[in-house]
């Protein structure tokens, strides 16, 4: 995957706060960073030769709580050995020089055999020099043996260091096995994450469909709510009308009951009055007038009206197609009237 693609994916992941994608994109770079810059001794490559090797990884422990991985230069292990070897080299060089001098002296002695007496002092000097060289060679040999002892002692330290290295290597291999196991677990988790991501995307698709359905249902619900609100307003208006009608009905009912009670009372009064008037009908008085019962004074009173029929003794006569009515005993003009060209007689 290219850097541009990774950066694009990272930008998209950061926008969506998709931490799984962020971690998956950063993990290869993080591993590469650790591989190139890590100083963990357990990640070092094993070699079987000291050629081109100048340092050795080691565990530093001051027994006081500080433990860390360090590297030790090879010169630290061979420091004493190098010094002893340098001394042995100097002693050997001196011995070689003394031997060369002795050889030269012996050669000169052979050449100067004839002048032995003359060269005796030179021979004595050469013998002295030879003895000195021999002593130097002995000392060099002694120093070499001491150097060998130091080397063997340092070899013991080296072997201890090697054992430590082998233990650390075993620990590194164990750590590597654990890292490999963790990597396998990480790969399994990554596969599981990919599967879960697919499930999440599927669930997200389903959620989107459900959200669309919910929005549609919400829109329908809002329309229904609007219709319900309008119906509720109509119901409230109808209820208000019903209350007004009920109030009107109650008022009408109260009025009806009041009117009924009044009518009942009036009817009872009229019934009493009718009974009273029926019990006390009009009658003809001794003076020939009608006497009427007074419901207030509870007595008969003279009405002044003559107590007789309409026409007492009427006579009829037709002269020239005209009808003449005569009744000397009554006021006939009060008993005759003309209605719609018809003559009406009130007898």
CA atoms of 67 and 60, how far apart (whole Å): 6
In total, the chain counts a number of residues equal to: 347
Distance of CA 307 to the CA centre of its chain: 113
- Beta bridge pairs of residue 344: 337
Beta strands in 66-185 (DSSP E): 67-73
pLDDT for position 43: 56
Q: What is the pLDDT of residues 130-186, one digit of tens each?
A: 677 667 766 766 776 776 677 667 777 778 888 888 888 888 898 889 998 999 999
Q: What is the pLDDT of residues 2-48, one digit of tens each?
A: 566 656 665 666 556 666 666 666 667 666 665 555 555 555 666 67
pTM: 0.24
Q: What is the pLDDT of residues 70-126, one digit of tens each?
A: 777 766 766 666 677 677 677 778 777 876 776 776 677 567 666 666 666 666 776
Average pLDDT (205-221) is 93
> Of 97, 105, 99, whose CA–CA distance to 121 is shortest?
105
> Of 42, 37, 70, whose CA–CA distance to 55 is shortest?
70
Instruction: Decide: residue 139, CB within 10 A, 0-12 exposed, 13-18 middle, 19+ buried.
Output: middle
Judge contact between 108 and 122, C-beta under 8 A.
yes
Residue 1 has pLDDT above 70, yes or no: no
pLDDT for position 65: 82
pLDDT for position 140: 65
* Structure tokens that stand for 336 in this block: 């005759």
């Amino acid at each position: 995957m290219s850097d541009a693609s990774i950066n694009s994916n990272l930008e998209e992941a950061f926008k969506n706060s998709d931490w799984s994608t962020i971690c998956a994109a950063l993990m290869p770079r993080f591993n590469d960073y650790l591989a190139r810059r890590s100083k963990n001794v357990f990640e070092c490559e094993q070699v079987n030769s000291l050629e081109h090797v100048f340092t050795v990884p080691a565990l530093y422990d001051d027994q006081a709580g500080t433990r860390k991985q360090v590297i030790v230069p090879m010169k630290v292990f061979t420091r004493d050995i190098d010094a002893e070897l340098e001394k042995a080299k100097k002693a050997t060089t001196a011995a070689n020089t003394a031997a060369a001098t002795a050889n030269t002296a012996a050669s000169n002695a052979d050449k100067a055999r004839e002048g032995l007496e003359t060269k005796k002092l030179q021979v004595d000097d050469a013998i002295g020099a030879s003895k000195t060289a021999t002593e130097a060679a002995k000392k060099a040999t002694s120093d070499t043996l001491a150097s060998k002892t130091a080397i063997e002692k340092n070899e013991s330290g080296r072997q201890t260091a090697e054992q430590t290295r082998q233990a650390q290597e075993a620990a590194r291999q164990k750590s590597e096995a654990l890292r490999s196991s963790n990597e396998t677990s990480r790969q399994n988790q990554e596969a599981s994450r990919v599967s879960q991501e697919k499930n999440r995307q599927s669930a997200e698709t389903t959620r989107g469909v459900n959200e669309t359905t919910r929005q549609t249902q919400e829109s329908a619900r809002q329309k229904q709510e609007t219709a319900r609100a309008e119906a509720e307003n109509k119901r409230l208006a109808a209820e208000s009308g019903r209350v007004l009608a009920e109030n009107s009905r109650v008022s009408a009912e109260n009025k009806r009951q009041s009117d009924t009670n009044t009518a009942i009372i009036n009817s009872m009064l009229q019934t009493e009055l009718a009974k009273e008037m029926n019990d006390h009908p009009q009658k003809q008085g001794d003076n020939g007038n009608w006497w009427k019962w007074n419901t207030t004074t509870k007595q008969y009173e003279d009405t002044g009206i003559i107590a007789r029929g309409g026409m007492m003794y009427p006579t009829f006569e037709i002269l020239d197609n005209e009808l003449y009515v005569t009744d000397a005993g009554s006021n006939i003009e009060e008993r005759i009237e003309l209605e719609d060209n018809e003559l009406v007689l009130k007898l």
